[in-house]
Structure 1
């Protein structure tokens, strides 16, 4: 990277800390004011920095527009997949990634269990929204009024005796999930299947997806599956960090 480009790029994280004047920029870059002025002028011409009336510089609107477009172009599935594989390799159970599309929650990725007993879930298939752990996480993150509206227009099939019986119970469960930051489905859809899930968050802290680990109770008990929750949450946090650009880390912490 050329010295000029390096210096120009160094200005951006400096201004992310807050507005700075020419002298402050020159001091940080350890260059003459005339050099700092040329760099700032170029960045200003491209809309990446803006000069205020008090002659201090701040980040420009075009930079935020570019960042927004970049975020919209991110594929959470592509980012998450290596982490899902690593999680599957560590625990051996089925791993899912799900997102919300209007009034449905869909699986968009899946890594199968290494055990002979497999789950019948499919990529692109909607989940049982009133009981699935991933759905609880995605709906729990909605504003309260919207959360209530969604809950009140859902049907509540009695898949098992542990299924959510109605909107009031669902809203209570979503409030609990919102507070604790993780969710479970312990036999709510199929009596023999348990699931733990954690949220994937974007740069604004909102839940953009959810990951889960699921297993039949003939392979692992509900208590043993719950013991994997810290690992599931660390994996979700690693995906969140990479998706939101907080760190270049690409592997799930071990």
Structure 2
């Protein structure tokens, strides 16, 4: 583990409701570190937006928690709310289709599974909460990438390494951009053996009250079970995703007025 990172992040713990502001001397004393070391770590946290510096005078300079922490806190709260709203409907969907149901969100350069309801099938995919996937592989990952803001998506595409996990994996930017366009047009995403052969995943968007896509509702299972039931599976998953979005405050008619 990187000890410098740990030491820097631990400094955040010295701020509280009772002590929202701290000076360099205060934090150095509390942490037991020298002032030069403390200053270097505080400067790094300030640069990243985790702390902000307030200069009351040349002799009175203090630090307080930065807006980046509020931004990250809101993300955590939103994900917790999404999980709470999603889980009952995910269970209903899993009961209806008898396939694994996942809730997927973007985390940096990856998609991550933050909730799961397993199927009762004797042969099923092994997945777990916390699993991470490249944004170019899998129905949930691709759907989230497709619905990103154009500038954000371009940044991801620019630095993306298109690693192939199976012969069905997308390995070119041109192929990926074509797939993303199709996802927007269709309203859903399908992955046919992109990460594990002989499996299929399909995903629909979950939107918040602003109409932003904040998660993907995904079902996945063996290809042999999906082929003859595809229309039914699409219909059931879309229905569940729409209900979840509605519970989160999304209203189609309101959003359409803004377009």
Measured against the shorter chain, the TM-score band is 0.5 to 0.7
How many residue pairs end up in the alignment? 177
- Structure 2 residue 83 is the aligned partner of structure 1 residue 82: no
Matches within 5 A, 1:236-251: 236-244=241-249
Deviation track 1:130-168 (CA, whole Å, cap 9, x = no partner) reads: 121111111111122321221231111222221101222
**Distance verdict in 2 for CA 1:222–1:153, change over 3 Å:** farther
In structure 2, relative to structure 1, the CA distance for the partners of 1:73 and 1:103 (3 Å cut) is: closer
- Work out whether 1:198 is the aligned partner of 2:204: yes
CA contact 1:74–1:243 (8 Å) conserved in 2? no
- SS for the counterpart of 2:177 is helix
CA contact (8 A) 1:134 1:212 kept: yes
8 Å contact from structure 1 (residues 215, 225) kept in 2: no
1:222 counterpart = 2:227? yes
Between the aligned partners of 1:107 and 1:141, the Cα distance in structure 2 is 17
Report SS of the residue matched to 1:142: coil
Gaps spanning 5+ residues in structure 2: where?
A: 1-73, 252-259
The answer to whether 1:231 aligns with 2:236 is yes
After TM superposition, the score normalised by the length of structure 1 is 0.65
- 1:1-254, aligned counterparts within 5 Å? 72=78, 75-218=81-224, 220-244=225-249
Q: Tell me how far apart the structure 2 counterparts of residues 74 and 241 of structure 1 sit (CA, whole Å).
A: 17
> Does the residue aligned with 2:216 lie in a helix, a strand or coil?
strand
User: CA offsets per residue over residues 98-137 of structure 1, 9 Å max, x none?
Assistant: 1111211100111111111121111011124212111111
Q: TM-score, structure 2 length as denominator?
A: 0.64
Structure 1 residue runs of 5 or longer lacking an equivalent are 1-67, 247-254
- Partner of 1:96: helix, strand, or coil? strand
